[in-house]
Amino acid sequence: MMVAISASVVKLLRERTGLGMMDCKQALIETQGDMELAIETLRKSSGMKAAKKANRIARDGLLGVKIDGAQGVLVEVNCETDFAARDENFIAFVHQVVEEIFNHPDANLDNLLVSAREALIQKLGENISVRRAEVFQDQGQQQQVAEYIHTNGKLGVLLATEGGSEALGKDLAMHIAALSPAYLDPDSVPAELIATEREIYAAQAEDSGKPPEIVEKIIQGRIKKYLAEISLTAQTFVKDGSMQVGALLKQEGARVTRFVRFEVGEGIEKKAVDFATEVKQQLNR
């Protein structure tokens, strides 16, 4: 049974891939309307490297952080506008949230500072939510925690290391903020993710006319490059283009045990609003 593909879905796929409308429509037909599968199909057939994230940032707010030796906490608190995020009452609430979670790491975020949050909602006239928090605690090892919060308060990193200096921890936290690695090292990358990328690269190289052994080398080279882009230890250190992060850690006698990177609003879908339709509906009432 063929799934009906709406023009709006085709348009969204075109926006995410930059490819032609007919190519996008055909890919959606072939994948029964599955957007992510259609993107994979188009990557295989067109050589497209990646797709844009659709409507990725939809909420505002601030990050809050606190560290003390081997313990650290990174928190995201959301509001609706940057105007509210810069309000001193909102900033004070973020500090409250950080302290509360730091002192009570197992606190339920939905029930956190309910009265204070409701009072702030009334004061600012915007929805306020404690979206997420990450807590690092010493698990019996010689762990030290470093943090970095960008000047706008909307991008932050929490990093745990064994060995190394405080300055190294700060540098690595800034590196993670800048280059956004998804995994600690190449061995941490899920096998199914590598398999998907390999399949895409193989499809792209299929019509190259090169011998199989050369094609295999090309695929391996692309996978290696891909892993270097998404793995912290394989990335080139942002402050020294001649050295990988893994080599830096070895030089400093250090090891990264854990890290987390928050960007305000990431992953929150923005609701598409058709204002023209809303006006027509109001006129027809």
Helices 166-179 + 245-252 axis angle, to 10: 170
- Summarize pLDDT for 2-35 with one digit per residue, the tens: 677 888 788 888 877 878 888 888 899 998 888 8
Q: Report how far apart, in Å, the C-alpha atoms of 194 and of each of 73, 150, 220 are.
A: 31, 31, 11
> All domains of the chain, ordered by start, with CATH?
1-54 (1.10.8.10), 57-137 (3.30.479.20)
57 pLDDT above the threshold of 60 = no
Give yes or no for a contact between 74 and 147, defined as CB atoms under 8 angstroms apart.
yes
Query: Residue 242 has what pLDDT?
Result: 94
Instruction: Determine the average pLDDT of the residues in 165-181.
Output: 95
Res. 197 pLDDT band, cuts 50 70 90: confident
Q: Facing residues of 155 across strands?
A: 263
**Assigned token pair, 164:** 């190394």
- pLDDT, residue 56, reads 37
Amino acid at 251: Q
The residue among 193, 155, 205 whose CA lies nearest residue 175 is 155
Q: At 162, is the secondary structure helix, strand, or coil? A: strand
- Residue 1: predicted pLDDT: 58
Secondary structure of residue 22 in the 3-state scheme: helix
Q: Is the pLDDT of residue 140 over 70?
A: no
* CA–CA dist 245, 63 (Å, integer): 26
HSE, CB side, 13 Å, CA atoms: give it for residue 280: 4
What is the residue-averaged pLDDT of the chain?
A: 85
What pLDDT band is residue 139 in, cutting at 50, 70 and 90?
low
The torsion angle over the Cα atoms of residues 262, 265, 268 and 274, rounded to 10 degrees, is -160
In this predicted structure, what is the pLDDT of residue 34?
87
Amino acid identity, position 153? G
Beta carbons of 6 and 13 less than 8 angstroms apart: no
Average pLDDT over residues 211-217: 82
N-terminal to C-terminal alpha carbon distance within the chain: 38
Averaged pLDDT for residues 55-67: 76
* 32-41, 82-91, 182-191, range with the lowest pLDDT: 32-41
Gap between the Cα atoms of 100 and 145, Å rounded? 19
What band does 257 get if pLDDT is binned at 50, 70 and 90?
very high
Beta strand 129-136 with 71-79 is antiparallel
User: What average pLDDT does the segment 190-199 reach?
Assistant: 89
**72 close to 149: Cβ distance less than 8 angstroms:** no
pLDDT in tens, 75-98: 999 998 899 999 999 999 999 999
> What are the backbone angles phi and psi of residue 144, rounded to the nearest 5°?
-125, 145
273 pLDDT exceeds 50?
no
CA–CA distance, 27 with 3 (Å, rounded to integer): 12
Alpha-carbon gap, residue 105 to 97, rounded angstroms = 11
Q: What is the pLDDT of residue 185?
A: 94
